[in-house]
Structure 1
Amino acid sequence: MSAEEGHTSPVEQVIEGTATRGRKEQHSHTRRSKSKGPVAKEHVDTRLTNLEQGMEDVQLAFGRLSDNFEELVQENAEITSVAKEMIEDVGQTFQKELKELASTVTTLKAFVEGELHDLHTKSISLETRLDALCVECRSKHATSHAPSTSTHPTTSGTSNIKVPKPDVYNGVRNATVVDNFLFGLERYFVALGVRDDEARINHASTFLRDAAQLWWRRKYADQGENALHSWEQFKTELRKNFIPHNAETES
């Protein structure tokens, strides 16, 4: 071998060193790969097993969630049904109580109206009685102060005779009843000595009842142009209002 062949240049030495290191590293990498192969496969298998187990757990949880959801839906339907029934019951009860309340109010209203009507009737009756008392007082006063026209002495005890009052007239439309009522009044006035027309009219009105009393109240309220000034006018108006037309007086 020549000196040139036994001596390598620096460049060649670098190239050869690099190639040698490359071969060593490749060999070392190959050895490491062969030594780590079983460990990596076992690690992958473990992860796959864990993943499969996790999927099963997820499926179980999803199944339980589905069951719980169905139970919630069923419970919600039951609650809705019960609530609907309760609302219907409450509505029916409310309607029933409302009707009972309306009936009670109607009854109470009728009762109050009846009481007011009774009070009004009693008030009219009291007013009529008061008028009668006033008329009677005026009549007695006029009689006691009127000069005596009798030329005959009064028999002892005659002034103590009690004159019976005539029957009341309630507005029956019958000629005989009306005439008998007026006749009884005139006999009563004669017995009491009542001669004044105004006193007779006022006193006669106290014996009117029901329809006749209502007629007199209206007549009395219209005192003015239609005022009754004489006893004959009173009798005429009473006959005109309560004796039917073409009626014949019974004998």
Structure 2
Amino acid sequence: MDTKFENFRSEMGLYRADIKEQSAENLSFHEAVSLEIDSLMKDNLDLQTEINKVLKEKEILYAELSILHLAIFGSRTNREESSKVKIPEPKAFRGTRSAKKLENFLWDMEQYFIAAHVRDEDKVSITTMYLADDAKL
């Protein structure tokens, strides 16, 4: 019976050694997992900071885009609305040698250009369409 007891004791000693070894391995594994979790949490924090930066940049870009959109399309809308008003065309200049008639023609053309929102590049070619008779020469 003593031998059985001794065998039992020796097996228990082996089990204890295995348990201590497993505990040490578990502790080591736990430490490794803790370090990995800490590293992942730091990476997550860095990533969250970067995401916040990108979101702020996105907000700024959307604001700039809205301003540009308003500047481009807002002015077109205003022009389209104002172009619905019928603008009387100026009378043709026939080349009479009267300073008063020439002055009136030029003033009428300026007012027409303002009301019609004509670009500077187009003013000369439009003005030549309103020259008649001797004024065309």
Fold match (TM-score > 0.5): yes
| Aligned residue in 2 for 1:91 | 52
CA distance in 1 between counterparts of 2:9 and 2:76 reads 98
Structure 1 residues 207 and 80, CA, compared in 2 at 3 Å: closer, same or farther? closer
TM-score by length of 1: 0.37
| Aligned residue in 2 for 1:80 | 41
Q: CA RMSD in A?
A: 3.3
| Aligned residue in 1 for 2:69 | 108
- Please give the per-residue CA displacement for 1:213-235, whole angstroms capped at 9, x wherever unaligned: 8xxxxxxxxxxxxxxxxxxxxxx
Higher relative contact order (CA 8 A, sep 6+): 2
- What code does the residue aligned with 2:35 have? Q
CA distance in 2 between counterparts of 1:66 and 1:207 reads 93
Q: How far off is 1:209 after superposition?
A: 3.3
Identity of aligned residues (%): 6
Structure 1 residues 167 and 117, CA, compared in 2 at 3 Å: closer, same or farther? farther
Q: How many residues align?
A: 109
Larger helix proportion of the pair: 2
| Aligned residue in 1 for 2:111 | 209
| Aligned residue in 1 for 2:103 | 167
| Aligned residue in 1 for 2:128 | none
1:55-66 aligned within 5 A: 55-66=16-27
CA distance in 1 between counterparts of 2:103 and 2:34 reads 89
TM-score by length of 2: 0.63
CA distance in 2 between counterparts of 1:51 and 1:207 reads 113
Stretches (4+) displaced over 6 A = none
| Aligned residue in 2 for 1:51 | 12
CA distance in 2 between counterparts of 1:161 and 1:105 reads 50
Q: How far off is 1:95 after superposition?
A: 1.4
